[in-house]
Amino acid sequence: MTLARRAFLRTAGGAFLAAGALKASPAFCAPAARHLKFENLHTGESLALDYWSDGAYHPQALAEINKVLRDYRTGEVHAIEPGLLDLLHDMNARLETVAPYQVISGYRSPRTNAALHEHSNGVASKSLHMQGMAIDIRVPGRQLAAVHDTALSLGRGGVGFYPSSDFVHVDVGRVRKWNGV
Ligand SMILES: [Zn+2]
């Protein structure tokens, strides 16, 4: 065997090994599961679960999330838009945190929303909270401004900044932004 031939074999073998290593490395695979954690500040309930894996949302996990994000004033449960969960999942990744989302407001029934709207200019009468498409959150260990910037950077819906109330509103409606109090 010539030297050149040996060099070729070595290279080919090396390339083969590299390809094998690439395939096995989790860094090069799409995440197999999507995980979320919530802590509802009104009810004290918390939840940590995989809500998606292998290309499908888990109905049981979605049902548990819907319950924790229910209208705590009336007890009404409404489906939360899975796209909102994906938005939260992607925010976690960008914020490089696994801390639970602290939830100030998830689903709001029309009755609750109307009552809040009456007492606050900051509550829209046609709020996306009533469709399970919006959530008000803060993230322990991360500055509110960082959470705000991250939500804006994803550009996937509405983002409201409420520094005095210490939360960020995110939704999966039209892309827009505003400042509250
Ligand atoms: Zn909100």
Between the CA of 71 and the centroid of ligand 1 the distance, in Å, is 13
What is the CA angle 158-70-108, rounded to 5?
Answer: 50
Q: How confident is the model at residue 54 (pLDDT cuts 50, 70, 90)?
A: very high
Residue 103 has pLDDT above 50, yes or no: yes
57 Cα to the center of ligand 1, angstroms: 24
Rounded CA separation 52/5 (Å): 49
pLDDT at 136 over 70: yes
CA torsion 117→121→125→126, rounded to 10°? -130
CA of 162 to the centre of ligand 1 (A): 9
Distance, CA 7 to ligand 1 centroid (Å)?
A: 63
pLDDT digits (tens, 9 = 90+) for 141-176: 999 999 999 999 999 999 999 999 999 999 999 999
Annotate 36-59 with DSSP letters as a single string. Answer: EEEEETTT--EEEEEEEETTEE-H
> How close is the Cα of 113 to the center of ligand 1, in Å?
10
Query: Which residues have CB less than 5 Å away from ligand 1 (the ion)?
Result: 134, 136, 169
The pLDDT, as a whole number, for residue 31 is 67
